[in-house]
Amino acid sequence: MNKEEFIKKLQEENIEVNDIILEKLEEYSNYLIEYNEHTNLTSIKEKKDIYLKHFYDSIIISKYYEFKDQKVLDIGTGAGFPGMILKIFFPNLKVTLLDSNNKKIRFLTELCNKLEIEDIELICERAEDYCKKNREIFDIVTSRAVSNLTTLSEISIPFVKKDGYFIPLKGGNKDEIMEAKHAISILGGEIEKEFNYTLPIENSNRTVLFIKKKKNTPSIYPRQYSKIVKNPLKNKEK
């Protein structure tokens, strides 16, 4: 997907884009390619793939939700997806990008300076540790291509305030979503909406879930990651 195809597809999806956003995205893609030559940030290294699999696949979330000035946490942000893209498109968002990999946070710090991105927080810490002092304070928590949904829900939902949303961007694995419903319920959430779409050009299936926080998460969650993985919150009643 080149820049022209990117613009055309956004127009088809009624996602607004302007010259300032496009300039930042172009600089973003160039810097990501340059940085990736000496520091492995992403396996996606061609500009056309960055526009498709990083930029487009991040901003498509805004087709289904109206972003204004919410407080957003992006868990496992990597090289900034989807959180940095949301911030570029919606500058009034209060965005926190969280990743335990220091080299990725270092890249994002330099990127923010380069693109003159302000009012954004970059945190290098494990999510379950960061949650100890930041429980239930975010309007929206999102994550893309991080872990299976059962594990990701335990890591993410405790950050969401009551009536807020956990919005994971996932592949089209229906079994994974079904298996996660028990954990989501225990953690105080409920799947309110599910949107399915096909990523252009490569025609792969994607799902955006809107998990509403119905009640406070029990204080024992999230557990340490080793315990989450070893003993996931799966429904044992089959």
Q: Cα torsion for 44, 207, 193, 8, to the nearest 10°? A: 70
**Per-residue model confidence (pLDDT) at position 238:** 43
- Is the confidence at residue 113, as pLDDT, over 60? yes
Distances (CA, A) of 196 to 2, 61, 181, 188: 23, 11, 17, 24
pTM for the complete prediction? 0.95
> If you ran DSSP here, which 8-state letter would residue 57 be given?
H
pLDDT in tens, 187-200: 999 999 999 999 99
d(CA 134, CA 116): 26
Residue ranges of E strands in the chain: 71-75, 94-99, 120-124, 138-144, 160-171, 189-199, 204-213
Instruction: Give the pLDDT mean for 112-133.
Output: 96
Q: Is the dihedral of CA 27, 80, 116, 103 positive or negative?
A: negative
**Per-residue model confidence (pLDDT) at position 178:** 92
pLDDT in tens, 128-175: 999 999 999 999 999 997 789 999 999 999 999 999 999 999 886 788
- Is the confidence at residue 29, as pLDDT, over 90? yes
pLDDT, the chain, mean: 95
CB neighbour class for 104 (10 Å; exposed up to 12, middle 13-18, buried from 19): buried
CATH annotation of 3-216+224-229: 3.40.50.150
**Confidence category of residue 72, pLDDT binned at 50, 70, 90:** very high
The alpha-carbon radius of gyration of the chain (Å, integer) is 17
Q: Any idea which residue has 């492995």 for tokens?
A: 40
Percent residues over pLDDT 90 in the chain: 90
